Structures are given as structure tokens and as C-alpha cells.
Amino acid sequence: MIAPLNQEPSSSPYQSARRDAAYRRGVLLTLLTAVTWSCSGLVWRHVEEAPVWTVIFYRSSSLFVALALVLLMRYRSRMPAACRAIGVPGVCAGICLGTGTVCFLFAVMNTTIANVSFLTAATPMVAALLGWCLLKERVRRATWISMTIALLGVFVMVYEGIAGGGLFGNSMAMLAALCSAGYVIALRFGRRADQMPAVMLGGFVAFFVAVFFVEEFDISMNDYLMCATQGVIISALCNVVFAYSARSVPAAEITFLSLLEVCLAPTLVWWVVGEEPSSLALLGGAILLVSVIGYSVTTIRS
């Protein structure tokens, strides 16, 4: 019996090839997302005078409004149904995304940037353990080795600055890493649904928290454009693409690949703004870059 033309073959080789193609596409999109995320430092450097909480308020509100409009145009009257379709995993993903943003901010305000960078770089390890426990996702030996090399690279990058830092700030950095890992695990749980509403929920959570801390809502046009750029393009668009990639790339791998942002961000600031990193930062960044790119190339080829 001949299958209809619009019906996909159900043979195992076809399904395997389709999964491989989706995995390769997910890896490439994750790398592209990390590159775009690395531009955040440049955007923040062009904020002239707006306080941090004011920036978070307008950045999160821009993210929320932008995705709400996109969902409305895409689903129209079915938008409420699309929001309900994310289920419990999507709600958890949104809460983790918004909470992680707030925790990261508290960490930056209460400990050194080096401590924040190193502690949040442990996210792939946390995601690997959670993915193994909750999703039964096996982590390949090559992935563990690559993550360990990457963590070593991050340690070399921030070695000179790892000192001091309050217990509260370090705890917030660790909680931010846990939220990031939880965000990915939740996306993996709900990968059969469009998780764009979950990203929108994450923006709303951060926006809701910022409302209680903002002391001044007045903002210059330049600063508002920087916040909108960060919220709409770097946060909203990239997180939607990241959520799409999480459908086909395991939790440990997608968080590991996103570490590319860590080495690219200071490099871009160096090239554009002129903030020259130290020799150790360059060495650590090179180690991290080689581990991520090498793993990506070998994985896609295999």
C-alpha cells in the first residue's frame, strides 16, 4: 500500500536522519544565540545614566510587550489557548527565567564579577545532573570532558578577580546558575509545545519584581533605546530561539554551548569600547572558545 504524498515515511532510518538534522540545527542556533547574547555588554556600556533597576524594568517590559504582540499576531483568538498549552513545564520555565534574571542582578550588586562569572559557568554541570535525574538524559563522556575544560577556561579568565565577595552575592550567583539550569530542564520537559509564552512569562516576572525597586522611572531616549534593544532582540528573540533549540539538544549540551557568550562578551567590549582584558582573561577565553567550537564541530560531523 502506497502512503499518501503528504504523509511522512515512518521508517526508522528516516526518523533518525530527521532527528540528526534537528540536532545539528539546534546546535548551530544555540551558537548563534550565544553570539548575540554576547552583545549585551556593548548595549549596557552605552547606557548613560539610568539606574540598574530602571534598566531592568524597561528591558523586561519591552520583552513582555514584544512577545505579547508577536503571540497575538501569530495566534490571534487562539492566544489564550497557546499560553495554556505550555503547561506546568512552561510556567516553571518562565519563573526560572525571570527569577534567574533577578538573582543575577543581586549577585552582580553584592559580589565580584569574577565570582559571578565562575559560579554561573557551572550551569552546564547542574543541567547535566538535573537532566540525568529528571529526564534520564545520558551525558556522553566527550560532553563531560568538554564541560570540564570549559570550566577550567572560565576559571583562568576570572582567576585574578576571584577573591572576597559576600556570602549573599555568591549565593545569588549560585541560585542564578540553578535557575538557568532549571529553565533549560523545564524547556526540555515542555518541548512539544511552543514555549514562546514561557519566555514572555519570564519577562513579566522580572518586570514585576523590578517595580518594587525602581526609584526613578524617568529615562533618557538613548537609555530607553538601549533597554528596548536588549529586551526585544537580545532577550526576547534569543530566548525564543534558545527555547526552540532546546527541543532537540539535551540540557547539558545546550547550556555548555551557550558558554560561548562568556568568552565573546569581553572580546567584543575590548574591540569596540577599548576595555582591554588581562592576559589570563585572553588565555582562559581561548581555552573556553576551543572547547566549545571543537565540541560543536566534532559533534555535528559525527
Q: Residues 6 or more apart from 119 whose CB is under 8 A from it?
A: 107, 170, 173, 174, 176, 177
Position 152 scores a pLDDT of: 87
How high is the pLDDT of residue 62? 93
Q: What is the pLDDT of residues 246-276, one digit of tens each?
A: 999 998 899 999 888 877 877 777 787 776 7
Q: What is the rounded distance in angstroms from the CA atom of residue 94 to the CA atom of residue 203? A: 8
CB neighbourhood size of 79 (10 A): 15
The long-range contacts involving 36-39, CB below 8 angstroms and separated by at least 24 positions, are 36/233, 36/234, 36/237, 36/238, 37/234, 37/238, 37/258, 37/261, 37/265, 38/260, 38/261, 38/264, 38/265, 38/267, 38/268, 39/234, 39/265, 39/268
Residue 8 has pLDDT above 70, yes or no: no
274 Ramachandran zone, left/alpha/beta (phi>0; psi -120 to 50): left
**Digit-coded pLDDT (tens) for 21-59:** 888 899 999 999 999 988 887 787 788 888 888 988 999
- Residue 10 scores a pLDDT above 90: no
pLDDT in tens, 272-291: 777 677 777 778 888 888 88
Sequence-distant (6+) residues with CB within 8 A of 164 are 111, 112
- This prediction has a pTM of 0.83
pLDDT at residue 7, as a whole number:
43
Compute the distance between CA of residue 148 and CA of residue 142 in angstroms, rounded to an integer.
10
| DSSP secondary structure code for residue 278 in this structure | P
Given a cut of 50, is residue 2 above it in pLDDT?
A: no
Which residues have C-beta within 8 Å of that of residue 146, sequence separation ≥ 6?
Answer: 256, 291, 292, 294, 295
Q: Where are the beta strands (DSSP E) in the chain?
A: none
Nearest residue to 61 via CA among 247, 162, 205, 242: 205
What confidence score (pLDDT) does residue 78 get?
93
Q: Tell me whether residue 176 is exposed, middle or buried, using C-beta atoms within 10 angstroms of its C-beta: 0 to 12, 13 to 18, 19 or more.
A: buried
Residue 296 CA, chain-centre distance (Å), reads 17
Q: Which has the closest alpha carbon to 71: 85, 51, 59? A: 85
**pLDDT, tens only, 138-195:** 888 888 888 888 888 888 877 766 665 667 878 888 898 899 999 999 999 998 899 9
Give the C-alpha distances (Å, rounded to integers) separating 184 from 95, 188, 212, 221, 235: 12, 6, 27, 34, 15
pLDDT tens for each residue of 78-114: 999 999 999 999 999 999 999 998 888 788 777 766 6
The pLDDT value given to residue 73: 93
Per-residue model confidence as pLDDT tens digits over 200-238: 999 999 999 999 989 888 899 999 999 999 899 888 999
Q: List the one residue out of 98, 91, 90 whose CA is nearest residue 179.
A: 98
Distance CA 159, CA 181 (A): 24
pLDDT of residue 6: 39
Q: What is the structure's pLDDT at 135? A: 87
For position 164, what pLDDT does the model report?
57
Collapse the DSSP code of 213 into the 3-class scheme (helix H, G, I; strand E, B; otherwise coil) and give the result: coil
